[in-house]
Structure 1
Amino acid sequence: MSTNTTNLALYKADPLTDKDNTFNIKTMLNDNWDKIDAKTKSITDSVDLANQNIEKSKIFQDDSIAKKYEFGFNNGQLYYREVTV
């Protein structure tokens, strides 16, 4: 008997009980690919939204050594640099 995966409900044919059934491209492949594609889009949209809401940079000062450092994100990469006091 066929089952579905836990997280994305992807179709899984059972090789023992479904072995005599005709391979159905829509059910066994295309529907699964559509679910994966939709979930990927949802994740990508969430990451894009999160990146828009991230503070791009912040300056911290270490008074014990009289230096300031800037931390931030640029093209999805975290960076830091010393800035002029």
Structure 2
Amino acid sequence: MKTMQERHQKFMAAKTPEERNALMPEHMKATKEAMRMMQGMSGMGGDMAAYHQMMEKRMEMMQSMMQMMMDRLPGTIEK
């Protein structure tokens, strides 16, 4: 998750579309890795408190990933 956020910050700090395009493969790789990790979380069972905590973490990751997708849309990058 931390890696994905660091790559997103680099992406947002890019000043030109060319710089953002150059960072996109790295950013997409981190996003795919986070999605794989979330899929692995869904099979956990057992303790309800642990399950609740895992679900909160998963929701945080999903919100962060959605924000990153929104930030990649044209016209949404603030200067």
With the shorter chain as reference, the TM-score category is 0.3 to 0.5
- Which structure shows the bigger proportion of residues in helix conformation? 2
**Bigger Rg, which one:** 1
Greater relative CO, 1 or 2 (CA 8 Å, sep 6+): 2
TM-score, structure 2 normalization: 0.41
More strand by share: 1
Q: Report the TM-score when normalising by structure 1.
A: 0.38
